[in-house]
Amino acid sequence: MARSTKVSGASVPKQATRRDQNIASYVYGIVPADMELDSDDRGLGDPPGKVELVRHGEVAAMVSDVDVEQPLGKPGDYLAHERLLDSAAARTPVLPFRFGAVMATPESVVEELLKPFHDEFRAALQDLEGQAEYIVRGRYVEAALMREILTENPEAAALRDAIRSRPEDATRNERIRLGEIIAASIEAKRDMDTRQMVDALSGHFSTAVVRDPSHEQDAVHLAMLVRTDGQRALEEALSQVGERWEGRVSLRLLGPLAPYDFVIAQEQGV
């Protein structure tokens, strides 16, 4: 039976009022039902939507109201979506929706999402208990990288000397060949350095995924599922690698984050 709300002394179905106002429920992800929202939690929209929990059994959906006539997918929407889920991941297990889902009402969130997939969601959240995603990003220092390649590869050094101070159109073939050597060398170094990073951080993560490089000079792009209470130990292990790679690779650690690389909640379940 539809819930109702009083308007001017009349009883109007809540679902009807939401439809008339073009309001729907935007779902960010799934969390344990006993999670408590932070006072700073805000959703997407301008102004940012108020985030609420729609609960069913032992699981809940993080939702906020959206105007269905307003287009979603602006850069600010993605940032708000990720910011909310990353904040939640620092406090509790979370199954993130990659882009969010829009459902008609909170009741439909329960009936179409939480109720049919309750057990799957609960099991996945239990598996993530105490863990979040962390990302290691390393980028080669360009000058150091080129020194390595030219020192290790005599052909590259000879080509570099051959094209120096000569017109670009007169050295086209040499430049193409040099570019091929550099690209292959970076790929080989990336593979080797990624393996070294995984070995160095072994024991600090339960599972890891090698991400595709996002830049041609990426040295490492590694996503890991890590216990949040082990963050300091992870930072120390990464710092030791950073000391060995000083001046060669710049390193960053991002996290805790929602575990997009390891489990994505969809409208059809996980």
pTM of the model: 0.84
C-alpha–C-alpha distance, residues 21 and 209, integer Å = 44
- Per-residue pLDDT, 264: 65
| Phi and psi torsions of 21, nearest 5° | -90, 5
- Per-residue pLDDT, 76: 87
The per-residue DSSP string of 30-47 comes to EEETT----TT-B-STTT
C-alpha–C-alpha distance, residues 56 and 49, integer Å = 22
Host H or E run for residue 97 = strand 95-103
C-alpha–C-alpha distance, residues 11 and 13, integer Å = 7
For the record, the structure tokens of 67 come out as 């105007």
C-alpha–C-alpha distance, residues 141 and 155, integer Å = 22
C-alpha–C-alpha distance, residues 270 and 203, integer Å = 27
16 falls in which pLDDT band (50, 70, 90)? low
Q: What is the pLDDT of residues 26-49, one digit of tens each?
A: 999 999 999 999 888 899 887 888
What is the CATH code for 133-257? Answer: 3.30.70
Domain ranges of the chain: 16-129, 133-257
Three-state DSSP class for residue 89: helix
Q: What is the pLDDT of residues 98-132, one digit of tens each?
A: 888 899 999 999 999 999 999 999 999 999 999 99
C-alpha–C-alpha distance, residues 188 and 191, integer Å = 5
C-alpha–C-alpha distance, residues 95 and 28, integer Å = 9
- Per-residue pLDDT, 18: 61
Q: Can you say how many angstroms the Cα of residue 248 is from the centroid of all Cα atoms in its chain?
A: 26
75 falls in which pLDDT band (50, 70, 90)? confident
C-alpha–C-alpha distance, residues 247 and 243, integer Å = 9
Task: Single out the residue of 180, 197, 27 nearest to residue 112, CA to CA.
Answer: 27
Residue 249: CB partners within 8 Å, gap ≥ 6?
138, 139, 140, 141, 193, 219, 220, 242
Contact 209, 246 (CB under 8 A): no
Q: What is the pLDDT of residues 217-250, one digit of tens each?
A: 999 999 999 999 999 999 999 999 999 999 999 9
C-alpha–C-alpha distance, residues 140 and 251, integer Å = 9
Amino acid found at 107: E
Contact 101, 24 (CB under 8 A): no
Question: What CA–CA distances, in Å, run from 216 to 176, 187, 213, 261?
Answer: 16, 9, 7, 21
CA dihedral 24, 28, 32, 37 (to 10 degrees): -80
